[in-house]
Structure 1
């Protein structure tokens, strides 16, 4: 009999007021990359009515290289990706209200379709799959489903998945369509069916990672050769890759059977692979721990046993180090500058001058510092160069050409442009040219530069690899008149979707560094998650990711990715190539070196090409017992490895031990 009274007493208690809410529109914002979008917000009271007098601000919470938002809510998209935005509402006497939305920045409408490695001649009964790539006008990859059609289905049929079947002798035109974007491909089906088919490997015995190419011999029933046909390829067992041209690379030792199929005929060949067996021991020859600041770039004097080492985290200085005794590197001097970090260092080819970057000066006088090296152990500043570079300089590259003299190629953090500085009068530099990609400032970022044979290889973050003629002549370019040669742009969002899944949207990812070697350009991506592991701290809270791609530039006008390397843990940062070895600073993964001899295809790590690994973490550094390897410079068989947390390491790759002989017992 007391229950009704208890319920009644509860109903008479005052209810807590409903909190005000923040309404955002659009609720699920989407903007085409390189366009703008207006976000709007208002505060609603408990009854859903607008509240006046609220101060509302919009703040970017990630994706800083891909876009930005003004305090009033105008989103400026510079690239595809996701821009997290935090909205803050403040009212007098009321708690602050915050909300977060994620602005999806998507590719524009389909503008082009390319068909990768599509053969133009088929034989009756042959089936192939066409692989289309759909891009927007800005070159961003789209995931559209392509509509296929054939001009003559009695000759060549194609289904909704792009599976093509040759049905009769003759010609047909295949069409791929996405909205207004159209691509066509002419196909000829040749007369006669395959009588015999044979394939011949370029080698029957090889090592893991070697590329074996197969020659195809196809004849009709009368024994006449049928030229220009492209078979379908497969192999078993094991792991590896084979492309449409019949280039096979196996990842594991063992026996492989490679099969070519043309129409109803197939042919097999056997190849045997032995392990690559390139692993070697390493020795740490010398150490110079740093405890006051993080360590940035390292550079070696071209003719003297001297290293130059930059600092970060407010270090404001560049150290000079005597490395005559490799076991006991000694600091001999330093240059102190208002910069917070000395991010990059390089000398002139003759070793008479040095340039280093300023990226975080408190007075915004960033740019570069130039020093004379009359006494290389004691550099003396002779000039600053800050014209147009208040946003900071991340990287520089010094390059001399007989015709044009010496120039400094540097990155502009503020505009994403490359500045080419005439350095023929070293202490009186002047601008020769400024160039940048045609992209909104919000998404343009140039991170690193390599110049070889008059070609500049630019690591252009969202724009991938851009190659400029700065004196090579292939496009009539010069240091004062750089000209575009080609570009390799790829889908960073898709490549690192697992990083977004682990740490949320708005993560850091982009083309970070490039190095030309023979017919390849090695490009490495810098990738970090948007948020640390929940509940973790120190080394367990976060890590780097990233992939190194091998870009084939044997035709520099048509760069293409043919191989890659990705450490099992950590990331990739700066690289150095000497001979047939690539040396890498791999962030949390430490220092690594791997074999890049021969032709490169597929997954380089799976092929057992890794030669040396040294984890550059110890208890004597700025951050104890954790690796954050920045990069490496190699000379005379020694690797000078700079670790952000631990200073300088001098590492030697030792000769591979001789195999032990097995005693034969009579």
Structure 2
């Protein structure tokens, strides 16, 4: 969670204006740049007509588009208008706008158009407008013109409708650039279509696979027929639309119980199949079992493990407070007992992790008084008498937000831009062996998770990064971390990533979670927060072609940390508590609409740091209990009732 950065900025932005009379001056006032240009600004503080020596620091709200370095030099990366904040101790903050001009369009690229298009079938042009900086223009102004509308017409979105055989051309224009596409419309040989599927009955959320063949009058297949899939449904619930999702490769999933008709067409030929969809019916009861209350400060992340004495323990961090981490006995989840604590030089202990053998704990540090915001390694062989055995601060002055332990190595974020890999064969003498950092403009990182020798990092705008740190898939190692796959989704908010291989299908997914605060973050006692964002389920089965295939979203809430076990997802959704989600079978579409949510629980606490203001941080399944931490109330445990017998998936006639 990037809360510490937001909190520090908030402090700087709300300093009293003392200070009355002080003003930050930026020169020049109206700043317009071209893409790729740099400009150093002159920034100073004035009071009563006199120039002060107070330093001025600037921050860009869009680092990937417009960056600002420590010398107050702007670098224009992408076109648009951006806000920059200037701060100085004792002066009100100043926000000013910088405009980066759009370069002229230089080229219109069009993907390959078929050599022949069958009369009566549509085709949509795929195109991109490239400007003189080599950037693809988003939402360019484009016009289309058909030279012979008796053969084909084209609408404002590039959809070509064909009528009769013949040759014509389509002109595509943006600004002063024109590209001409020649099309050849031929007689349509298709007379009928055969449509098959892998069943005709299933539950909501189950994925059907349709296969279609276009045939000519002699019954021969027309292999290049442009087939188009669609569906129509009638819900069992008359007040709800029978929604679903169909892909043009023949995959279909229904959100609501009811009757659905899937149709494939090509010109005047079509074929249909009807499906009966039943409710998924996976709901189960969930009940609170216990709580380890923390009400005098915010709670951050946690980890539950089995100690070497066979008892069960947990560690929790704290946020924006005094650098304390708490240790708990959770052997009886109904009686969570605080047994020890450590305090380090920090405002925030954001992340906590335990080694695989249950003997070491590592905690992160942010906001240290000496700016040595490193990590701390703790001996937890006896969780009732934990002992700090070493610290690691090298290259960590910007703060360690998240950490992970795997195979005697700690993966520690540094300054929100990269992670170092630190050897702890001798935990009293840790040392860095390598680091991983992207080279993209304004890059940043939030989290890293390591499993089977692969590090999955969450890199905000750069998305999910898969790095070989010992798996061997790309020849990487802890000394030579090697990136081999990635996926970035459009909202630029990738905050967490969790790998998941489906037990029921064998497909390999990585689930990427957002973190968004649309109304800002209130960190004060009594502050109530609301987050946004959702989970993106990305199919990485084909590493070279990852596909975002599904989502899980809770209205008016935002995702945070999560856990997956036995095809079930346990995810914290901040102000809407913990959600338990069925991930069985192939995944596609809107999982919540499909009725895949098994249960939910919200930790309201009238005695919390902020009373009755749940803000759940993360969840972990451990020995049959769901443990979860909450920003305002501490550590909790809950129990899900046993699973009901499963119904058969897709049924064939």
Aligned match of 1:301 in 305, 312, 333? 305
* 1:307 alignment partner, SS class: strand
Distance (whole Å) between structure 2 residues aligned to residue 486 and residue 171 of structure 1: 43
* Contact 1:230 1:244 (8 Å CA) reproduced: no
Distance (whole Å) between structure 1 residues aligned to residue 139 and residue 340 of structure 2: 56
Deviations 1:420-474 (A, max 9, x none): 122333332221211211134xx32210112223222110012111222222333
* 1:528 alignment partner, SS class: coil
Distance (whole Å) between structure 1 residues aligned to residue 181 and residue 622 of structure 2: 51
* Contact 2:45 2:56 (8 Å CA) reproduced: no
Q: Which residue of 1 aligns with 2:497?
A: 514
* Contact 2:263 2:271 (8 Å CA) reproduced: yes
Q: Which residue of 1 aligns with 2:230?
A: 234
Q: TM-score, normalised by structure 2?
A: 0.80
Distance (whole Å) between structure 1 residues aligned to residue 171 and residue 35 of structure 2: 28
Distance (whole Å) between structure 2 residues aligned to residue 316 and residue 182 of structure 1: 62
Structure 2: runs of 5+ lacking an equivalent: 1-20, 234-241, 502-507, 647-653
* 2:479 alignment partner, SS class: coil
Gap change, CA 1:385 and 1:96, over 3 Å in 2: closer
Quick check: 1:433 aligned with 2:434?
yes
Distance (whole Å) between structure 2 residues aligned to residue 88 and residue 433 of structure 1: 35
Following TM superposition, by how much is the alpha carbon of 1:292 offset from its aligned partner in structure 2, in angstroms?
2.0
* 2:533 alignment partner, SS class: coil
Distance (whole Å) between structure 2 residues aligned to residue 324 and residue 69 of structure 1: 50
Deviations 1:580-624 (A, max 9, x none): 111111111111111111121122222222121111121122221
Q: Which residue of 2 aligns with 1:499?
A: none
Structure 1: runs of 5+ lacking an equivalent: 1-18, 45-50, 401-405, 493-508, 660-666
* Contact 1:573 1:585 (8 Å CA) reproduced: yes
Q: Which residue of 1 aligns with 2:568?
A: 581
Gap change, CA 1:209 and 1:353, over 3 Å in 2: same
* Contact 2:57 2:88 (8 Å CA) reproduced: no
Distance (whole Å) between structure 1 residues aligned to residue 346 and residue 628 of structure 2: 23
Q: Which residue of 2 aligns with 1:271?
A: 275
Aligned match of 1:353 in 337, 351, 360? 360
Gap change, CA 1:78 and 1:579, over 3 Å in 2: farther
* Contact 2:23 2:91 (8 Å CA) reproduced: no
Deviations 1:105-140 (A, max 9, x none): 788888999989998985442113245567888988
Distance (whole Å) between structure 2 residues aligned to residue 517 and residue 62 of structure 1: 35
Q: Which residue of 1 aligns with 2:265?
A: 261
Distance (whole Å) between structure 1 residues aligned to residue 41 and residue 253 of structure 2: 51
* 1:296 alignment partner, SS class: strand
User: Counterparts in 2 of 1:180-219, with a 5 A limit?
Assistant: 192-219=188-215
* Contact 1:394 1:447 (8 Å CA) reproduced: yes
* 1:551 alignment partner, SS class: strand
Distance (whole Å) between structure 1 residues aligned to residue 355 and residue 464 of structure 2: 25
Distance (whole Å) between structure 1 residues aligned to residue 134 and residue 432 of structure 2: 29
Quick check: 1:338 aligned with 2:345?
yes
Distance (whole Å) between structure 2 residues aligned to residue 422 and residue 182 of structure 1: 58
Quick check: 1:143 aligned with 2:130?
no
Deviations 1:17-51 (A, max 9, x none): xx99999777675656776445578999xxxxxx9
Q: Which residue of 2 aligns with 1:482?
A: 481
Q: TM-score, normalised by structure 1?
A: 0.79
User: Counterparts in 2 of 1:530-569, with a 5 A limit?
Assistant: 531=520, 538=526, 542-569=529-556
Gap change, CA 1:31 and 1:280, over 3 Å in 2: farther
User: Counterparts in 2 of 1:84-483, with a 5 A limit?
Assistant: 84-86=83-85, 100-103=95-98, 123-132=118-127, 142-145=138-141, 160-165=156-161, 192-237=188-233, 238-302=242-306, 304-400=311-407, 406-413=408-415, 416-440=417-441, 443-483=442-482
Gap change, CA 1:629 and 1:261, over 3 Å in 2: same
Distance (whole Å) between structure 2 residues aligned to residue 611 and residue 23 of structure 1: 56
Quick check: 1:526 aligned with 2:515?
yes
Distance (whole Å) between structure 1 residues aligned to residue 254 and residue 315 of structure 2: 42
* Contact 1:219 1:225 (8 Å CA) reproduced: yes
Following TM superposition, by how much is the alpha carbon of 1:183 offset from its aligned partner in structure 2, in angstroms?
11
Aligned match of 1:603 in 584, 590, 597? 590
Following TM superposition, by how much is the alpha carbon of 1:382 offset from its aligned partner in structure 2, in angstroms?
1.4
**Equivalent pairs, count:** 604
Q: Which residue of 2 aligns with 1:503?
A: none
* Contact 2:119 2:165 (8 Å CA) reproduced: yes
* 2:515 alignment partner, SS class: strand
Distance (whole Å) between structure 2 residues aligned to residue 130 and residue 657 of structure 1: 49
Q: Which residue of 1 aligns with 2:7?
A: none
Q: Greater CA deviation, 349-358 or 119-128?
A: 119-128
Quick check: 1:626 aligned with 2:613?
yes
Q: Which residue of 1 aligns with 2:649?
A: none
Distance (whole Å) between structure 1 residues aligned to residue 405 and residue 134 of structure 2: 31
* Contact 2:519 2:530 (8 Å CA) reproduced: no
Distance (whole Å) between structure 2 residues aligned to residue 554 and residue 167 of structure 1: 41
Q: Which residue of 1 aligns with 2:3?
A: none
Deviations 1:383-437 (A, max 9, x none): 111111111111112223xxxxx322221125x0121122333332221211211
Following TM superposition, by how much is the alpha carbon of 1:628 offset from its aligned partner in structure 2, in angstroms?
0.9
